Each structure stands twice: as structure tokens, then as C-alpha cells.
Structure 1
């Protein structure tokens, strides 16, 4: 199973694991609640191998919130495990709306964590502090701001994003990398760093910095997915 598929499964199941812990506690099944909480912790630790750091931090906070709720001194029991100190983050775990999949020649706007799979000839506009994972996509453009962007098994893509973390590539090829301002009006930022899991010797075989002249040729087609895709072959 690819990292993107594992991430999608995690986003769907982990909040349910935490809810199950609360349910067991409300039923006064303290030992089972503790066991379920530890299982959730192990699930989160395993997910660190394929989830973006931003999401790991958010889910760490959600897990710690449940731990804290169940460890209040007014309760009938307390967990023996030490309380973990984490940064103050929203209490609710991140949610992911149903992600676009098997779409073609479309313009997609993403404002929440998402896994986008099997898209062809689409223009994807991102505006979020969370994560976007693209799997098995071709001839698509990703433009905007994002906390973390990962591509898996994708090719002939244009990625022009402002992001504080490296764009990660896995089994990708023919990726054009640029800044958001290369494609649309925006504050000029440094081009994103790239981490290519298949480039052991840092040869940059699977991605290329976007040339300013080529960017100028692409810009007129930002409302025409078919025309833009034809230039990403």
C-alpha cells in the first residue's frame, strides 16, 4: 500500500479510535479504555513514517487531549502513564472532506487536508495550512499555499506552491517545481525545497525548476485545464 493510501486510511480511522477510547471510559471500562488509548498511540507512532509532520503534531495534540480528559483527578481512576507536554493546539482532530478522485479536465479548490487520487489534466488550487497528498496524478497543476505537499506515483505535473516544508516526491517523474508567484499574483517567496525519496544521489532526475519563460507561456491557460495539460506532456 502506498503512503498516500495509508494516510487516507489513517485519516478515516484514527478519530474513530479516539472516540472508542472515550466511549469505553464512559462505560466505566477503565482497563479497556487504557488499552485502546495505548493502541491509538502505537497507531500514531507507526503513521509517522508516511504522514506529514504537520498532521502528526495535530493528531499528537488530539491524542494528548483524550489522555488529559481521562486523567482528570475528578474521575474515578487515573492512568499511570505520565502526562505528555504538547503545544496548545485545537482540541478537535483534523478532518478530511471526501477527496476528489478519478476526475479529469477539472478545476479543483482545496481548503482542507486532502488526498487527491487518479486525477488527469486538472488544475488544483490550494489554500490551507494542512497537507495535500496526490497519488497517481498526471498532467495536473498544483498552485497556491499549503503546509505540506506530497506526490506519489505522479508524472508530468506542475507544482507551484508556497510551503514551509519540502515538497516530497515518491515514484514521480517529470515534475516542474516553482513558486506560487510564478503562476498567479502573490508575494514572492523562495522556491520550495524538494525531497525526492527515489533520488539517492541528489541528481534531480525527477523534477526540474520552472523556467520563467515557460511559466509565462503556461499562465494564460490557468482557466483551461485541457490547454495546460497539453503543455505538460
Structure 2
């Protein structure tokens, strides 16, 4: 089996080590003592929507969690592994970030899977994990289908709704509203349109407009 793609990554590392590392050496030296990001970004794992690229950030500036369709599950107890919940808990209660950004995006494969129920009934390892994750959007999907049907407009509406659903779920974690009420934490919604490269920001009314 070819290792070309990993070799490309190693080549990229060498460029970083030769160019970026020396240029940012003071920053990296400071980061060896710990991280103090002020912002947490919850984004999709999609390879086209890297938050560091879109927001032009430097190492140490943002604490990032990425998953399928930038989803936050509701606060719940149980036997499942709670990776997103653990990262959220760490960012809010330990790093004490001051702002959280939930960023959705266009052409989201997770949203298409939620909309089409493509993996419904699949076994874990064959699509079942995906199905059980994106079913967080089932209620929103059904509501949007009734309103918009099954066309591109409905897909776009569900992509935007991933942000609203995740923000609502964020607020089921007790540590979130507690800090919001004290003015210690602010939550933002955003949406990156891959087709034109425009970032949209969610206003207090829940609607999105270009930044």
C-alpha cells in the first residue's frame, strides 16, 4: 500500500519546521507553559472548513472541537462516551473560555445524511454510528421538510439549523447558562458557505447575515 499521502503530510511538517517554527518560536515557547484560549469553536470535521484557516488564527488562540455536522448533544448521563461533552466541560470550566462559536457550513455531508436518512438501519461500523449521531437533527429535519419540502432550500435550512440545535443543546449544560447569566460567557452562531467563501453570522433573532 502506498504511503504517499502521509509522506505529503511529513513534507508539510518539514516546511513548517523550517519556516513557521522559527518565525513563531517565541509564541511556541510561551505555549509550552500552557494554553489560555479565550474562544472555543465547535465546527464540522469536513476537510474544507478548518476554523484556523477561516478565522486566520494562530496556535493557542482557539480551542477547537470538530465532529460530524458540528453537533453538540444535549446534557445527558449514561454509558456512552461523551467526547464532545468532555471537551465542552474542559473548555468552559477549566480553561474558562469567554466565548463559544458554533459554525455550520454549506455542502455538509452530515446534514445530507440526516436529511436523506441514508444510514437508517445500518449496523455500527457500516453507517450506524453516523445514523445515531445525526439523528440529533431528526426533529429539525421533519419540521423543515414540512415547511420547505426536499429541495436545496430545505438542505440549506437544515445546515443553518445545525447551529441553532447545537446552541440550544449547549444551554442544557448547567455550566453554560450559569456563566451566561453572570456575563462570563457569550455564545455565537456562524455559517461558512463553501460555494462563495462567505461567513454568515447569526444575530440575536436567530437569523444569519454575511459578516
Which is strand-richer, 1 or 2? 1
Asked which structure has the greater CA Rg, the reply is 1
Give the TM-score normalised by the residue count of structure 2. Answer: 0.23
Larger RCO (CA within 8 A; separation ≥ 6): 2
Which is helix-richer, 1 or 2? 2
Give the TM-score normalised by the residue count of structure 1. Answer: 0.22
